[in-house]
Amino acid sequence: MSTRLAQGGRLLNKGKQLHFSFNGKQFTGYEGDTLASALLANDQLMMGRSFKYHRPRGPVASGAEEPNALVNLGKGGNFEPNQRATTTELFNGLTCESQNHWPSLEFDVGAVNNYMTRFFPAGFYYKTFMFPRAAWKHVFEPIVRQSAGLGKAPKDRDADTYEHFYAYVDVVVMGGGVAGLQAAKAAGLSGAKVLLMEQTAHWGGRSMVDGGEVDGQPVADYVDALVAELEAMENVTLRNRMMGAGVYDHGYVLGYERVRDHAPLESGPRHRLWRIRAKQIVTATGAIERPLSFAGNDIPGVMLASAIRDYVVDYGVSVGDRTVVVTNNDDAYRTAIAIKQAGLEVPVILDARAGGGGALADEARALGIRVENGKGIAKVKGGKRVTGVAICAQAGEGAVLEEIKCDAVAMSGGWSPVVHLWSHCGGKLTWDEAQAHFRPDPSRAPTSHDGEAFVTVAGSANGYLDLALGVKDAHDAGKAAAKAAGFTATRKAAPKAAEAPEAAMEPVWLMPQGAGPELRIKAWLDYQNDVKVSDVRLAAQEGYESVEHTKRYTTLGMASDQGKLSNINGLATLAGQLNAPIPSVGTTTFRPPYTPISMGSIAGEARGDVFQPLRRTPIHAWHDEQKAFFEPVGHWRRPYCYPRTGESHGEAVKREILQTRNSVSMLDASTLGKIIVKGPDAGKFLDMLYTNMMSTLKPGRCRYGLMCNENGFLIDDGVVARIDEDTFLCHTTTGGAERIHGWMEDWLQCEWWDWKVFTANVTEQYAQIAIVGPNARKVLEKLGGDMDISKEGLTFMGWKDGKIGDFDARAYRISFSGELSYEIAVPASQGRAFWDAILEAGEEFGIMPYGTEALHVMRAEKGFIMIGDETDGTVIPQDLNMQWAISKKKEDFLGKRAQERPHMASPERWKLVGLETLDGSVIPDGAYAIAEGENANGQRNTQGRVTSTYYSPTLDRGIAMALVHHGTDRMGEVIELNKVDGSTVKAKIVDPIFFDKDGEKQNV
Amino acid sequence: MSNVVSALNGVSQSGIALVEETGLRGMITVRGDLASKPMAKALKDVLGASVPEQRQIASGEKGAVAWMSPDELLVICDHGAAEDIIASLNAALAGEHVLVVNVSDARAVFKVSGECAREVIAKLAPVDLAPGAFEPGMMRRTRFAQVAAAFWMNDDGSFEIICFRSVARYVFDLLCVASVDGSEVGFFN
């Protein structure tokens, strides 16, 4: 049984009981418990089932490295899968469920896989599900999806909030153990601004459990004093519940702060993602104990020795009454001693080393604990929990010497420094033969822009497992980081502590070393992915020599724990099988984040109303009130049409068009780009940017222009107005405003930097409203003002400044519909009032707004092109028969040379034409004109494609524009276009100007 | 004139900081040679302000001048005064290659005040807002979450933020989210 002890539990507040539920069962725990410790205290050792074989699993660890104890936490909007019970702080009302079982944790149908273990070796999926191909999708995948996998995906909207925070510091220290605290102090004493982050809620790390002395006092007292000292330092910030998630180029660090995980009822964000710029980083991330590979090492009750010690000391929880300790190093003796001191039994310590342990072993013996040197575990007995172990000689093949009853096994295979954060940005590792682990190689640290190291490592993360050595190393690391950040390092010496030498550990990669196949197939390397010694050996036999390939083939080191426990054991097994030294096999790549961080924290504030910026014109609120149907245009939302009650969108568009053609209507054109171009060289500059001549434009006049990129392709169009001798105002498409402004600045700053031209994007300074239709002038005249907008006073393609009514207005006499049309720009702050004034003035003419669809249809009726419809980045003006807009007088303009290339000048290019269906129907969007025969891929040949297609209310028939092979030479010819249903529609090639060819309507 | 309204009509909300739309503000983009004597003289004569240093904002009797880029300044003044100041600047800089243009209505202005004002800004803009690192007289062109914005700090510790008018609602909503009760960070205390 696992249970709560009467004594101990240094992190608990036994005065505060908490209630929680697991798989519907009600339990209690204490404030300070983790979910794992509270479950253990309630004898709930089994916490889940394994990924592949559905084997019963309990926790192996007590911290972030835990592979097994993952739960579906919370409900509804607070549901989150794959939460580690070992790092989930208990709170009142917590609810959770174990994962990967059906129908229940205790009785699981999928566990039949367990009896099929030998049939599911590494690569089983790859080998088995290849043929027949269709079977994967319809048979295998549905079954595998049902039976494999960890947590469930959340179904509800996340009820919590998240945020980002930007911080700038000189030194970031990751890890709040004694090394991190010491490093932070050393760096802080130099005056550097220090941010120390600790992933748990507590300071001091392992030293608080493991003990020792620093500066003549117990390490726990030393830590308390150190924390108090750091808290008093103005330049040092301590944050717990905050994990160093990733280290990136140039000292960029992600800190993952779990603000409200432990207190979900409090207001505020649940997680905060710190986006930190640090000059220097110290990784004091500690070390993780490795499991030993023996048969049955995954049975609930087999745990890391340090974890069993933590549960006893930190939480007052015993995992079992009788705990067998098995080790290859001295540290695990601390567990035996802690258990014994807690009044529980340690039947035997199995030390795989023939020579046994050092001083700690003597201490254990002195407590009356039996110690067996050179021995190991042949196999663990038990199913849903440990019932005993069979002992063997480590040197042998597993012949059982003795069986011992026990209900827990504490194992230690040595310690591996947490090198993840050192490695994220390119820090290299070196193999430490004596301690059988990889540790950071200080001579190959991650380097910044200047080639200098920006990460320093401290304490046990640097391979200094001894407290005294670790504290001294951390002190030096803090000093070095401060110095590298530009400060004068403190001259204060490191605290004094006596080394406590331990007997050398001996690597044990398999227990017993000669274990045969029957044992190896039950010796787990990776608990989370169910990878065993036998799987890695098989991979090696099948030719997988690279550790990265072996990882993919066997899934060793994948999933949410990323092999924190399994990597070293796995690659040592691989190296052994390949007969290669471990360092030459190497490690897999360490990538951020260190442990999984919430998707919510990555999104930060970007959800709901602020998921993405919405751009609104000054008249947007009115459109909204009218229940306009919006369409996205970049980040703008523009009214597509304004449907009235009972009206379809198509009917609304038709009404809006007929009103425009017959009387007057209005358009919110505020989103059109407006860029001021000014300077003595402005004309010359625009002549280079546009295909036509702009420098000859007279002040007071407007000209339509085309812009191409260097490759000759059309990128934008719009009306240019010359304001004065030096100043032009260039209209761009709505989507083109920022892009074209950037394009202009690019040429001015990078290529023509000596030209005297300034630009400014004034798009949003103005509300621009088009008043369009035969009655447009009458509406404006009703408003009054000082502006002559008569036929003669403001001629077609002219503009004027003045007053319309009370409004400061600039009127452009331009038309994109073929109607009499004025586009009036007023300052944005006056936009809404001006809109209202026009509505009022136009009432007697039945004025109404029209949307972007009416705009599109009316321009198509007139054969005007639309950037993005008639162009797609591969179309040149010549394709659109717009030679008239290409100046022949100019020596150069952007795109000119490209357009002279043979392919661009080829008569074989598809040319713009109009299409009229013979039956009057509307051709589907994106239809192709089909041609005889098939291409090399067996697809029907094509001879053109539709670029715009609409129902024209004006003509009461379908009209379209298309790019067609030799199109302009084929007027009157009938071609066939495909339809969605597989049939075709016949259409006649016509002039693309369908309506008012001579432009009489706009010249009134 | 009652016809004239700011983007959000002076909306405000209070959380760990007070967020307010300040209403219309005069803003003038000035592009030219910032090192030239005529530029310095024009700013002095028209606004009583000096040419700001990089990432600074200089104040004068008639308005403040913010550094925007190596050849661009932003004059901040009363909304009604902008056209007159433009005319005066153009007159003072006659013959120089400059661009002086009214951008007042292309913008929205927000004020964030209260003890947590620095933190609220630091949740949205990648700028070092620690006391000492950011102080009155400084100006940053940066971004707030996904949109361009700029801000400076007033002598009373409040911040003023300018953004494009079209995204005024987005920026206001952002500031409200960032100042929601219970979201104090406690990093700058």
- Classify residue A337 as exposed, middle or buried by CB count within 10 Å of its CB (0-12, 13-18, 19+): buried
Same domain? For A202 and A318 the reply is no
Nearest Cα residue to A174 out of A421, A519, A543: A421
How far does B48 lie from chain A, in Å, by closest CA?
25
Question: A318-361, pLDDT tens digit by residue?
Answer: 999 999 999 999 999 999 999 999 999 999 999 999 999 999 99
Residue A144 corresponds to which tokens in the numbers above? Answer: 């595998």
Q: What ipTM does this complex have?
A: 0.97
Question: What is the tens place of the pLDDT at every residue in A272-330?
Answer: 999 999 999 999 999 999 999 999 999 999 999 999 999 999 999 999 999 999 999 99
Of B24, B97, B126, the CB nearest to A275: B126
A-facing residues of B in 128-167 (CB < 8 A) are 128-130, 133, 145-147, 164-167
Least confident of A49-53, A130-134, A306-310, A732-736: A130-134
- CATH number of the domain that A536 lies in? 1.10.10.1100
Q: A118: pLDDT confidence band, cut at 50, 70 and 90?
A: low
Instruction: Identify whether the C-beta of residue B110 lies closer than 8 Å to the C-beta of residue B161.
Output: yes
Q: Calculate the alpha carbon distances from A355 to A36, A337, A978, B117 in Å.
A: 36, 20, 84, 64
Domain that holds residue A527: 517-585
Lowest mean pLDDT among A114-123, A648-657, A911-920: A114-123
Residues A979 and A864 in one domain: yes
- List, by residue range, all CATH 3.30.70.1520 domains of chain B: 26-105
Which of A275, A614, A765 shows the shortest C-beta gap to B105?
A765
Residue of B nearest to A257 (CA): B185
Considering the domain architecture, whether residues A359 and A463 belong to the same structural domain is answered as no
**pLDDT above 60 for A220:** yes
Name which of A172, A235, A241, A615 to mutate to probe chain B: the one with the most chain B Cβ atoms within 10 A of its Cβ.
A615
Cα–Cα distance measured from residue A472 to residue A474, given in angstroms and rounded to the nearest whole number: 5
Beta bridge partners of B18: B14, B113
What average pLDDT does range A881-892 have in this prediction?
A: 94
How far apart are the C-alpha atoms of A732 and A615, rounded to whole Å? 17
Q: Let me know if residue A34 belongs to a domain.
A: yes
Confidence of residue A144 (pLDDT cuts 50, 70, 90): low
Q: Which of A161, A168, A622, A836 is the best substitution to test chain B (most B C-beta atoms within 10 A)?
A: A168
Q: What is the DSSP string of A293-317?
A: --BTTTSTTEEEHHHHHHHHHHH-E
Distance from CA of B132 to the nearest CA of A (A): 12
Q: Which of B97, B125, B126 faces A679 most closely, judged by CB atoms?
A: B97
Confirm if A49 and A105 have CB atoms less than 8 A apart. Answer: yes
Q: Which residue of B has its CA nearest to A682?
A: B97
Of the residues A165, A240, A676, the best mutation for testing chain B's interface (the one with the most B CB atoms within 10 Å of its CB) is A165
Nearest residue, CB atoms, B174 vs list A277, A605, A678: A605
Encode pLDDT of A252-271 as tens digits: 999 999 999 999 999 999 99
Tell how far CA B69 is from the center of its chain: 14
For A178, the 3-state DSSP assignment is: helix
Percent share of chain A, pLDDT over 70: 97
pLDDT at residue A250, rounded to an integer: 95
Please name the residue of chain B whose CA is at the shortest distance from the CA of residue A266: B182
Of A527, A562, A585, which residue sits at a domain end?
A: A585
Cβ neighbour number for residue A194 with a 10 Å cutoff = 31
Contact criterion met (CB < 8 Å) for B105 and A764: yes
Q: Is B99 within 8 Å of A636 when comparing Cβ atoms?
A: no
Average pLDDT of chain A is 95
Answer for the pair A811, A803: CB distance below 8 angstroms, yes or no.
Answer: no
Asked if A868 and A735 count as a contact pair (C-beta separation under 8 A), the reply is yes
A659 near A741, Cβ under 8 Å? no
Chain B positions touching A834 (Cβ under 8 A) are: 3
Tell me how far apart the alpha carbons of residues A170 and A488 are, in angstroms, rounded to a whole number: 13
Nearest-neighbour CA in chain B from A207: distance (Å): 28
Q: What is the pLDDT of residue A149?
A: 64
Strands B139-144 and A702-708: unpaired
Q: Which CATH class is domain B12-23+106-178?
A: alpha beta
Task: Out of B99, B102, B133, name the one closest to residue A678 (CB).
Answer: B99
What tokens does A427 get?
Answer: 């820090």
Q: Are A369 and A346 in contact (CB under 8 A)?
A: yes
* pLDDT tens profile A624-655: 999 999 999 999 999 999 999 999 999 999 99
Provide the shortest C-alpha distance from residue B20 to chain A (in Å). 18
Is the CB of residue A590 less than 8 Å from the CB of residue A248?
no
Q: Is the pLDDT of residue A115 over 80?
A: no
Closest Cβ–Cβ partner in B24, B124, B169 for A616: B169
The CATH number linked to A386 is 3.50.50.60
- Asked if residue A145 and residue A31 are part of one domain, the reply reads yes
Q: Extract long-range pairs of A603-608: CB within 8 Å, 24+ residues apart.
A: A603/A162, A604/A162, A604/A163, A604/A164, A604/A273, A604/B145, A605/A161, A605/A162, A605/A163, A605/A164, A605/B123, A605/B124, A605/B145, A605/B174, A605/B177, A605/B178, A606/B145, A606/B146, A607/A158, A607/A162
**Min Cα–Cα distance to chain A from B168, Å:** 8
B141 DSSP β-pair partners: B150
Domain(s) labelled CATH 3.30.1360.120 in chain B stretch across: 12-23+106-178
Does residue A150 share a domain with residue A35? Answer: yes
What pLDDT does residue A116 have? 66
Report if residue A360 sits inside a domain. yes
The answer to whether the CB of A56 falls within 8 A of the CB of A129 is no
| Contacts A766 to B, Cβ<8 Å | 105
Judged against a pLDDT cut of 90, whether residue A120 lies above it is answered with no
Residues of A in contact with B178 (CB under 8 A): 163, 605
Cα B95 to Cα A911: distance, rounded to the nearest angstrom = 48
Integer Cα distance of A869 and A972 in angstroms = 24
Among candidates B24, B169, B178 on the partner chain, residue whose Cβ is nearest the Cβ of A163: B178
Write out chain B residues lying below 8 Å of A762, CB-based: 101, 103, 106
Residue A626 lies in a domain: no
Sorting pLDDT into bands at 50, 70 and 90, what band is A153? confident
Q: In the 8-state DSSP scheme, what is residue A846?
A: T
Task: Read off the pLDDT band of A516 (50, 70, 90).
Answer: very high
Q: Which residues of chain A neighbour B126 with C-beta distances below 8 Å? A: 166, 275
| Alpha carbon distances (Å) from A20 to A17, A31, A89, A90, A96 | 10, 12, 11, 8, 8
Contacts of A827 in chain B (CB under 8 A): 4, 102, 104-105
Chain A partners of B5 at a C-beta cutoff of 8 Å? 829, 832-833
Of the ranges A401-405, A568-572, A584-588, A800-804, which one carries the lowest mean pLDDT score? A584-588
Q: What's the average model confidence in pLDDT over A497-503?
A: 89
How confident is the model at residue B1, as a pLDDT?
46
- Residue A474 exposed, middle or buried by CB count within 10 Å (0-12, 13-18, 19+): buried
Q: Does A403 score more than 80 pLDDT?
A: yes
Report the number of distinct structural domains present in chain A: 5
Q: Which residues of B touch A612 (CB under 8 A)?
A: 146
Residue of B nearest to A265 (CA): B182
What is the nearest CA distance from B102 to chain A, expressed in angstroms? Answer: 8
**Do A329 and A435 fall within a single domain?**
no
Same domain, residue pair A86 and A174: no
Q: In whole angstroms, give the CA distance from residue A424 to residue A421.
A: 5
Q: What is the pLDDT of residues B148-173, one digit of tens each?
A: 999 999 999 999 999 999 999 999 99
Q: Is residue A982 part of a domain?
A: yes
What are the tokens at A299? 């049975």
Residue B1 at interface with chain A, using a CB cutoff of 8 Å:
yes
Which residue in B has a C-alpha nearest to residue A252's C-alpha? B126
Contact B183 A763 (CB under 8 A): no
pLDDT on residue A214: 96
Rg (CA), chain A: 38
Give the CATH number, domain containing residue A71. 3.10.20.440
Read off the amino acid at residue A569: N
Q: Is A111 left (phi over 0), alpha (psi -120 to 50) or beta?
A: alpha
> Are A332 and A325 contacting, i.e. CB atoms less than 8 angstroms apart?
yes
Specify the residue for token string 């300052």.
A827
Decide which of A359, A383, A413 is a domain's last residue. A413
Query: Same domain for A258 and A333?
Result: no
Contacts of A756 in chain B (CB under 8 A): 97
Q: Which of A182-186, A497-501, B108-112 has the lowest mean pLDDT?
A: A497-501
DSSP notation for A603-640: HTT-SGGGSS--B--TTHHHHHHTTPEEEEETTEEEEE
The yes-or-no verdict on residue A565 having pLDDT over 90 is: yes
Distance from CA of A167 to the nearest CA of B (A): 6
Per-residue confidence (pLDDT) for residue A138, from 0 to 100 = 76
How close does chain B come to A643, measured CA to CA in Å?
24
Give CATH superfamily name and number for B26-105: Heterotetrameric sarcosine oxidase (3.30.70.1520)
Contact at CB, A605 and B178, closer than 8 angstroms: yes
Residue A810 sits at the vertex; the CA angle it makes with A809 and A812, to the nearest 5 degrees, is 135
Nearest to A246 by CA among A80, A470, A422, A396: A422
**Is pLDDT larger for residue A140 or for residue B126?**
B126
CB pair distance less than 8 Å for A193 and B130: yes
SS3 for A25-56 is EEEEEEECCEHHHHHHHCCCCCCEECCCCCCE
**Interchain pair B122, A165: CB under 8 A:** yes
Class of residue A936 by CB neighbours under 10 A (exposed 0-12, middle 13-18, buried 19+)? exposed
Which of A166, A268, A806 has its CB closest to that of B122? A166
A923-949 pLDDT, tens digit per residue, is: 999 999 999 999 999 999 999 999 999
Quick one: how far is CA A128 from the chain centroid? 33
Note whether B122 contacts A680, CB cutoff 8 Å: no
Facing B128 at nearest CB: one of A168, A606, A676: A168
> A462 and A570: one domain?
no
Q: Which residues pair with residue A371 across a beta bridge?
A: A349
pLDDT for A851 equals: 98
Is A711 part of any domain? no
B6 → closest Cβ in A163, A168, A829: A829
- CA dist A717 and A708 (Å) reads 9
Residue A75 — very low, low, confident or very high, per pLDDT cuts 50/70/90?
Answer: very high
Q: How confident is the model at residue A534 (pLDDT cuts 50, 70, 90)?
A: very high
Least confident piece of the model among A471-485, A544-558, A704-718? A544-558
Residues A344 and A467 in one domain: no
Asked, for residue A115, whether it belongs to a domain, the answer is yes
Asked if residue A477 has pLDDT above 80, the reply is yes
Question: Where is the domain boundary, A413, A448, A470?
Answer: A413
* Cβ–Cβ below 8 Å for A268 and B123: no
| Nearest by CB: A613 against B29, B99, B170 | B170
The answer to whether A762 contacts B103, with C-beta atoms less than 8 Å apart, is yes
Does A638 reside within a domain?
no
In a shared domain, residues A299 and A282: no
Q: Is residue A998 part of a domain?
A: no
Largest CA distance in chain A: 114
Question: How far is it, in rounded angstroms, from Cα A307 to Cα A190?
Answer: 37
pLDDT at A129 exceeding the cut of 70? no
Q: Do A531 and A477 share a domain, yes or no?
A: no
Length of chain B: 189
The predicted-structure confidence for A83-103, as pLDDT tens digits, reads as follows 999 999 999 999 999 987 766
The count of other CB atoms within 10 Å of the CB of residue A442 is 17
Q: Does B27 touch chain A (CB under 8 A)?
A: no
